[in-house]
């Protein structure tokens, strides 16, 4: 919950299942001792000085699970070039993918490297094959 409203995340089903399994393993407590589960430690993440200061909090045990994985071969700059050649608006493409325009801009600038599902959705929104997004940064 954030500001009293539920928050949602979109991730591949296999990743969801893996996170559920990890959560189940961490929450094993004897039934005779009904103590509430401990609250996860919050970790503040500070952006680099060159960027606007943005803080993000995530429960510490899950941070490593949700870190972006390196997906070599895909190029955000290549995606940006294709988007611009097709005269597609960054905001509209981002909304079609289900991510923020700021996040898509970071991907296109090579500052972020999302998982396979995001690259698949970028290719879909640009109406290209996913292999067309491969190239040198």
Rounded distance, CA 135 to CA 137, Å? Answer: 7
The mean pLDDT of the chain is 75
Predicted TM-score (pTM) of the model is 0.48
For residues 55 and 81, state if they share a domain.
Answer: no
Residue 45 bridge partners (DSSP): 56
Containing domain of residue 52, as a range? 39-68
Give the CB-side neighbour count of residue 98, counting CA atoms within 13 A.
Answer: 11
For residues 61 and 95, state if they share a domain.
Answer: no
For residues 89 and 129, state if they share a domain.
Answer: yes
Say which residue, 68 or 73, is predicted with more confidence. 73
- Indicate whether 17 belongs to any domain: no
For residues 84 and 120, state if they share a domain.
Answer: yes
For residues 129 and 80, state if they share a domain.
Answer: yes
For residues 90 and 121, state if they share a domain.
Answer: yes
User: pLDDT at residue 20 above 70?
Assistant: yes
Q: Which two tokens stand for residue 47?
A: 């952006």
For residues 86 and 125, state if they share a domain.
Answer: yes
Neighbouring C-beta atoms of residue 135, cutoff 10 Å = 14
- The pLDDT value given to residue 56: 53
- The pLDDT value given to residue 70: 46
User: pLDDT at residue 124 above 80?
Assistant: yes
CATH of residue 89? 1.10.260.40
For residues 124 and 82, state if they share a domain.
Answer: yes
């Amino acid at each position: 919950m954030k500001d009293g409203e539920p928050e949602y995340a979109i991730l591949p089903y296999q990743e969801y299942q893996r996170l559920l399994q990890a959560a189940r393993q961490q929450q094993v407590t004897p039934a005779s001792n009904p103590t509430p589960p401990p609250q996860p430690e919050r970790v503040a993440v500070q952006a680099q000085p060159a960027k606007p200061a943005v803080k993000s909090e995530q429960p510490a045990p899950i941070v490593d699970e949700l870190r972006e994985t390196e997906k070599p071969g895909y190029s955000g700059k290549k995606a940006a070039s294709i988007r611009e050649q097709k005269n597609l608006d960054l905001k509209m493409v981002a909304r079609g993918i289900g991510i923020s325009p700021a996040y898509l801009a970071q991907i296109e600038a090579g500052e972020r490297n999302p998982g396979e599902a995001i690259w698949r959705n970028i290719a879909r929104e640009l109406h290209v094959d996913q292999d067309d997004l491969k190239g040198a940064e």
